[in-house]
Chains A and B, each alone.
Chain A
């Protein structure tokens, strides 16, 4: 017997560097969280973390994290049935938007809800934006930071894709009157809509993840740009100076040779750089490499990758169970309690945990911290599957497990 550990024993132990766990909350036994985290600072000064669940039965959970050592679940809501998931949410002031995606086309509810969360214990539905249809599975992601427009990854009743995997596209929804959300513009990848003059784009030969947007970043500092990750279509920058007619400026397509599923394209404002992440979607390292890329965007029409975020070897982590590779990053959202940095990147890597990088030198990003919780009790994969992260203005890291572990609140550089 060697004094090194088996993959199972490795998955069971917590490993960390420069990050310390402050508290952990299993969210009343429903510890599977999707890709929507945002913090509300209430009028009475409480700090409420809103979390979208990865799958039914729960819709979203609100956690009072005013005392980070003692986070308290103050609200947890249910979905109407098992065939829908919420996955994504965003908060501006006392307004929260939540995405709904169905398992099959044609099902409901599919689209987006808008809630009044001025009393976080009792969210009040203001309106539902219906995106259902014979070819739609509703919405996967929301981006809502200015209180005016939701940048939505969604299908719609009038959209028929050329391929069944391409059922969502980019929709801009005006929510200035939250009781009457209305679409003001849309864009889809050329060739993915029936009737397009362009031919349908080629399918990924190994992993057909589809041509759909995942995360869409639009910052108040650059209101004329949408930074869109389009799964197998790669990274895109759209000109949205006219919201009714988004236009593609550039498209960095890197799969194949890579394995597709471009997930996030975040501009590092002021640095002419993009931080692009893939999403690992296969267990046991099957779709490795899934990376975080630092991309030179100084010439918008010619995006050039410069480096990737350094990760520990796949040989070690792939064996631990579940997924290992890049996924969500803290997206520098505007907002009173959000951490904003154009050099420090905090990202999630499934069984690789939550990891922080310094990209001051974009050619050589440095890993500065990580926290990999031991496998949660009842983890179906036998390992932690850190799914999403949100960092507050004090540098506290709120990160979540995809299946069972719930919420981990972590301090960097104690």
Chain B
């Protein structure tokens, strides 16, 4: 009956390049009838943080929206804001929200936001990362990816990528951007939005919601299969690759490998997701990490299919596949011999 994932509030992180339309997208989302119990966290109540026609009551820190949602300003830090929201919800001071959307600033590195959800015990018990949505502006996106670090990282860390303003940029430019984004992050499905119109299904319920281990849930979370090798046709820095192992490994071997990798190259280990076949465990161990920090592993009840192989997707900066594979071999051997 106890399910380590079920019952935690899903958190969507909406990140994206400057001017890519994050606010527009969130406003469109909030106007959907099935998005009537959302707490939105924004950095500031700018002129258009939330469409005026949605606002019912507001204070300096918080707005109640007329569709039942809530919008609040990031107070202190995200950790404090999420804790405060949870306590207020439990006390019934605010709406009974069922989802949190965090809008980051255009220049934000989404990694610390994701790490906040992985490291605070209280937040871990009550929230789960559902999806990192990265918006890329088709008009300026290619240039931003060439000249700035943040957009590259936002794209690399994404679970879903939405290209905005493709109607202004035209098909050719949009296709180039799409190709570039696919190189950076082949796992993240990409869609185009015009004026914030996008199928909601694409953006929600991406993270694992329970430990049942259904195939469709796992596939949705892991992203698009891409096991054709490394992607560094254009960009030598950011690479994506998948490691597979047929034989079960010990948890010690796996965690030692990741510890070594994290200690040596943590800042370049952009995102890791995987299912680990741990010896003597019935279901796979779900792991996910952002740089040197990992979410506590969650064991699923069952394998999603007959394929019980360990599979780990890495998105890294300047770390080739061979280096990680060699490390697994080395640490695995050491552990086996010990």
Contact = CB atoms under 8 A, between A and B. Distances in A.
Interface string A320-351: 10000000000000000000010010000000
B59 A2 contact: yes
A18 B9 CA distance: 9
Interface in B58-94: 58-59, 62-64, 70, 88-94
A45 interface: no
Contacts of B63: 3
A312 B92 contact: yes
Contact of A344 (B1, B64, B210): B1
A372 B70 CA distance: 20
B1 A412 contact: yes
A192 B319 CA distance: 79
Q: Which of B2, B58, B89, B92 has the most CB of A within 10 A?
A: B92
A10 interface: yes
A13 B92 CA distance: 8
B107 interface: no
A17 B7 contact: yes
B91 A3 contact: no
A15 B125 CA distance: 18
B59 A369 contact: no
Contacts of B125: 366
A179 interface: no
Nearest to A10: B92
Contact of A16 (B59, B96, B210): B96
A307 B317 CA distance: 48
Q: Which of A341, A344, A414 has the most CB of B within 10 A?
A: A414
Contacts of B57: 1-3
A366 B210 CA distance: 19
B205 interface: no
A21 interface: no
Contacts of B1: 341, 344, 395, 412-413
A5 B93 contact: yes
Nearest to A413: B6
Interface string B131-144: 00000000000000
Interface string A13-28: 1111110000000000
A10 to B, nearest CB: 4
B91 A312 contact: yes
A10 B93 contact: yes
Contact of B94 (A4, A368, A395): A4
B197 interface: no
Given A316-B91, A413-B1, A414-B6, A15 B59 contact: no
Interface in B33-55: none
A176 B167 CA distance: 82
A313 interface: yes
Contacts of A15: 89-90, 92, 96
A310 to B, nearest CB: 10
Contacts of A344: 1-2
Nearest to B2: A358
A316 B92 contact: yes
Interface in B1-39: 1-3, 6-7
B198 to A, nearest CB: 27
Contacts of A341: 1
B304 to A, nearest CB: 19
A14 B96 contact: yes
A3 B62 contact: yes
Contacts of A358: 2
B212 to A, nearest CB: 11
Interface in A1-49: 1-5, 10, 13-18
Q: Which of B6, B88, B89 has the most CB of A within 10 A?
A: B6
Contacts of B90: 15, 17, 312, 370
A3 B92 contact: no
Nearest to A311: B90
Contacts of B62: 3-4
Nearest to A366: B125
Interface string B89-112: 111111110000000000000000
Nearest to B92: A10
Interface string B193-225: 000000000000000001000000000000000
B7 A3 contact: no
Interface string A174-211: 00000000000000000000000000000000000000
Given A15-B90, A15-B96, 13 more contacts: A1-B57, A2-B59, A3-B57, A3-B64, A3-B94, A5-B92, A10-B92, A13-B96, A17-B7, A18-B6, A341-B1, A395-B1, A413-B210
5 contacts: A3-B59, A3-B63, A3-B94, A312-B92, A316-B91
- Going nearest first, the 5 A-B pairs with the smallest beta carbon separation are A18-B7, A316-B91, A3-B64, A15-B96, A10-B92
